[in-house]
Structure 1
Amino acid sequence: MYGAMKVAIGGPLKLGFRPWVEGLENVPAEGPAILASNHLSFSDSFFLPAVLDRKVTFIAKAEYFTSPGVKGKLTAAFFKGVGQLPVDRSGGRGAGEAAIKSGIEVLERGELFGIYPEGTRSPDGRLYRGKPGGLARVALATGAPVLPVAMIDTEKIQPPGKVMPKLMRPGIRIGEPLDFTRYQGMEQDRFVLRALTDEVMYEIMKLSGQEYVDIYATAAKRQITEAAKAAKAAEKAEAAEKAEDGQKERTGS
Structure 2
Amino acid sequence: MLYWLLKYIILGPLLRLIFRPQVEGLEHVPETGPVILASNHLSFSDSIFTPLIVKRKVTFIAKAEYFTGKGIKGWLTKMFFVGSGTIPVDRSGGRAARAALDTQLRVLRSGGIAGIYPEGTRSPDGRLYRGKTGVARLALESGAPVVPMAMLNSDEIQPTGQIIPNLGRVRIRFGAPLDFSRYAGMTGDRFVERAVTDEIMYELMELSGREYVDTYAQKAKAQPKQPVPA
Normalising by structure 2, report the TM-score. Answer: 0.94
What displacement does 1:217 show?
0.4
1:180 equivalent in structure 2: 180
Distance in 2 (alpha carbons) for counterparts of 1:52 and 1:208: 18
1:18 equivalent in structure 2: 20
Aligned residue-pair number: 225
Structure 2: segments with no counterpart, 5+ residues: none
**One-letter code of the match for 1:159?**
P
Residue identity over aligned pairs, in percent, reads 62
What displacement does 1:70 show?
4.2
The equivalences for 1:60-79 within 5 A come to 60-79=62-81
What displacement does 1:152 show?
0.8
What displacement does 1:158 show?
2.1
How large is the Cα RMSD of the aligned pairs?
1.3
Distance in 2 (alpha carbons) for counterparts of 1:64 and 1:227: 27
Q: Map Cα deviations across residues 194-241 of structure 1 (whole Å, 9 max, x no partner).
A: 000000000000000000000000111112xx235xx5xxxxxxxxxx
The equivalences for 1:232-251 within 5 A come to none
Q: Is the 8 A contact 2:44 2:160 kept in 1?
A: no
Distance in 1 (alpha carbons) for counterparts of 2:121 and 2:108: 22
Normalising by structure 1, report the TM-score. Answer: 0.85
The equivalences for 1:149-168 within 5 A come to 149-168=149-168
The equivalences for 1:51-66 within 5 A come to 51-66=53-68
Question: Which has the larger helix fraction?
Answer: 1
The equivalences for 1:38-57 within 5 A come to 38-57=40-59
Distance in 2 (alpha carbons) for counterparts of 1:169 and 1:61: 29
Which protein, 1 or 2, shows the higher relative CO under an 8 Å CA cutoff with sep ≥ 6? Answer: 2
Q: Map Cα deviations across residues 22-54 of structure 1 (whole Å, 9 max, x no partner).
A: 011111111110000000000001101101110
Structure exhibiting the larger radius of gyration computed from Cα positions: 1
1:171 equivalent in structure 2: 171
Distance in 2 (alpha carbons) for counterparts of 1:131 and 1:169: 30
Q: Is the 8 A contact 2:43 2:160 kept in 1?
A: no
Q: Map Cα deviations across residues 69-118 of structure 1 (whole Å, 9 max, x no partner).
A: 34423322221111001012222x31111110011000001000100000
Q: Is the 8 A contact 1:10 1:49 kept in 2?
A: no
Distance in 2 (alpha carbons) for counterparts of 1:160 and 1:216: 18
